[in-house]
Structure 1
Amino acid sequence: MAAMGSDNLVSRSARGLLYQFGELAHVCAVYLGIAALVTLALTVTVPSMREQARQIHAALVFVLRPDGIKGDLFARLDSARNPFFFDAQGLLTDKETSGLPAVIPVVPEPALSAVPLPGQPPRARPADPASGSPTNFSRALSASVAGQAISGVTSAQAQALRSYIARKYKIAHSVAGALVNTAFMVGRESGLDPQLLLAVIAIESRYNPYAESHVGAQGLMQVMTSVHKEKFDAFNEGTIAALNPIANIRVGAQILGDCIKRRGSVTAGLACYVGATGPSDGGYGAKVLAERRRIALASGIPVGH
């Protein structure tokens, strides 16, 4: 009897182990099946999603970049690694598909400028006397490379000023020249000392056109787009033009000029520009005026010239 009981115990234990092993195998088979289905689905969908994401990214870059650098200049940058290019019909085309046009048509620039924002009437773009566009920084760069002269400033003075800014703020010499030319053009149009504008740019952003403060001030002159939104209505891009060097300098100069007129002096106007409401501006005005003196000393251009 004892032997029979022992045999039954062993048999039950074996059946229990076989049952557990069978359940484990069943669960493993289920999960392996799910994993195989997921892998198959990803294999089919991920390449398509990646391609769509690349097309959307390329379209967003084209639409959102500043107006002045639309076209061939931007399209040629990093073209060896960029899978897209714009064909003669203005279509975004994928190199990897042997020239087949992508599904995203590129609207010509004049048509883009005519399209108003939702709920807004069409806006006319003001012309820039120097370039035909208020924000065409690529043309300003081309003029700088070509050595565009500044009225009333010798070539040696202009060269010294550009070299000082390029060296101190670690920017390209051509960019420094374009910003200097813009500051002198805008300053003389608005009745402001161009070197004061350059000094404000130096203190506000250190010549970084994409700088943004913790309170939302943007661009070279750190304009608060939320406060001065209406001042960007003249530009095709709206408040995104704050990141365009020429548009930012124009709006910043307008704000600074209004502050100086309202407060009655450059020092008080700088305090107004930085948002100081009390008697102290935290040393901001002194920093700007000191930098203006350094700029004038480096260039040999008299202050207020």
Structure 2
Amino acid sequence: MAGADADALLGRMARGVGYRLGEFLHVCAVYLGIAALVAVVLGLSVPSLREQARALHEALVAALRPDALGGPFSALYSVESGLFMPDTAGADSGLPPEDAVAAEQAERASQPRAGTQLSFSQALKSSEAGQHVPGITNDQAEALRSYIARKYRIAASVAGALVNTAFVVGRERNLDPQLVLAVIAIESRYNPYAESHVGAQGLMQVMTKVHKDKFAVFVDGPIAALNPIANIRVGTQILRDCIDRRGSLKGGLACYVGATGPSDGGYGEKVLAERRRIALASGIAIRN
């Protein structure tokens, strides 16, 4: 009888130890599972956070750099780039003003004029080399270039050159560069040789007959409307004037498209919708 009681006691003790051991192993398994889950989540999120931090750092460094609009881009799109006629008439040459002007005109006539395609080819070379304007990250520039190239079926290098142009010229005019890109998209779908039935030409569909005076600074005059850089410079000037005249962005877009009544036929909404799509694709904040 005593032996049976001892066996029963040992059995109960063994079952108790086994139960506690089972609980311990269960708790260990739960904590190991949680640790594995945390490790997986961190493994997926940390690289993304690290990349976001890197992109933010790059953007801040570019934006705070003193020469944020300097370097090769300001020279490429400035009046000294060879696309524009330098305004040096009347400079101190020791001649009377009228003779100085005549001498300047004669000097210009004797020199070969810079080809309008040359400056844009330089912009293409910068784009192919992976260069982009300061103030945006490499990822943002590439995303924007890829979006435009894919949607409007143009070469990636051309898209990059046009993006750089829009950012440089847009900043000069105090315009959101992505607004400029959206206007180009709606006006010409990025066809620099587009022409409407009323004579509007180029990327931003500039009416060269109406705005002939604005092309006076270009070597080739109104024909420069078919050059992407010249067209964007004149188009942004017109858009800036329209916004200032109407007092609002929507009013300025209506003015740009030539609407004189209360309705612009939906033009402004199309441009603003495309700007939102461009900003979403690029990750660059919209400037109001």
Bin the TM-score by the shorter chain: 0.5 to 0.7
Instruction: Give the deviation of 1:114 after TM superposition.
Output: 2.0
Match of 1:261 among 225, 234, 244: 244
Tell me what 2:218 maps to: 235
Aligned to 1:217: 200
CA separation of 1:158 and 1:214: change in aligned 2, threshold 3 A:
same
Secondary structure of 1:192's partner? coil
Question: Greater RCO between the two (CA within 8 Å, min separation 6)?
Answer: 2
- Equivalent residues in 2 for 1:188-207, closer than 5 Å: 188-207=171-190
Aligned-partner SS, 2:186: helix
Instruction: Sort the Cα spacing of 1:135 and 1:248 in 2 relative to 1 into closer, same or farther, 3 A.
Output: farther
After superposition, the CA RMSD in angstroms is 2.7
Instruction: Output the TM-score relative to the length of structure 2.
Output: 0.61
Query: Counterpart of 2:194 in 1: which secondary structure?
Result: coil
What's the CA shift string for 1:75-121, capped at 9, x where partnerless? xxxxxxxxxxxxxxxxxxxxxxxxxxxxxxxxxxxx999239xxxxx
User: Counterpart in 1 of 2:147?
Assistant: 164
2:234 equivalent to 1:251: yes
Distance 1:113 1:270, change over 3 A: farther
Q: Distance in 2 between matches of 1:181 and 1:113?
A: 33
Alignment of 1:4-43 (within 5 A): none
Secondary structure of the corresponding residue to residue 149 of structure 2: helix
Pairing 1:1-305 to 2, within 5 Å after superposition: 114-115=108-109, 136-304=119-287
Looking at structure 2, the residues matched to 113 and 287 of structure 1 have their Cα atoms a distance apart, in angstroms, of 47
Q: Distance in 2 between matches of 1:240 and 1:192?
A: 25
Q: 1:173 to 1:113 in 2, by over 3 A?
A: farther
Q: 1:115 to 1:286 in 2, by over 3 A?
A: same
What are the superposed Cα offsets for residues 178-225 of structure 1, whole Å, 9 maximum, x if unpaired? 000000000001100000000000000000000000000000000000
C-alpha deviation, 1:150, in angstroms = 1.8
Contact 1:134-1:247 at 8 Å conserved across structures = no
SS in structure 1 of the partner of residue 262 of structure 2: coil
Q: Is the 8 A contact 1:193 1:304 kept in 2?
A: yes
Report the count of equivalent residues: 185
Whole-angstrom distance in 2 between the partners of 1:210 and 1:264: 31
Partner amino acid, structure 1, of 2:138? S
Contact 1:187 1:253 in 2 (8 A): yes
Structure 1 consecutive aligned stretches of length 4 or more whose deviation exceeds 4 Å: none
Give the 3 Å change call, closer, same or farther, for CA 112–168 of structure 1 in structure 2: farther
In 2, are the aligned partners of 1:135 and 1:245 still within 8 Å (CA)?
Answer: no
What is the TM-score when the length of structure 1 is the normalising length? 0.57
Distance 1:186 1:257 in 2: 11
Using a 3 Å threshold, how does the CA distance of structure 1 residues 233 and 113 change in structure 2: closer, same or farther?
farther
User: What is the DSSP-based 3-state SS (H/G/I as helix, E as strand, rest coil) of the residue aligned with 1:303?
Assistant: coil
The 1:135/1:256 distance shift into structure 2, 3 A limit, reads: farther
Q: Structure 1 residues 190, 134: CA separation in 2 closer, same or farther (over 3 Å shift)?
A: farther
- For residues 232 and 107 of structure 2, what CA distance do their matches in structure 1 show? 21
- Matched to 1:194, the amino acid is P
Residues 152/114 of structure 1: CA separation in 2 closer, same or farther (3 Å cut): same
Secondary structure at 1:149 match in 2: coil
Contact 2:176 2:286 in 1 (8 A): yes
> Identity over the aligned pairs, expressed in percent?
73
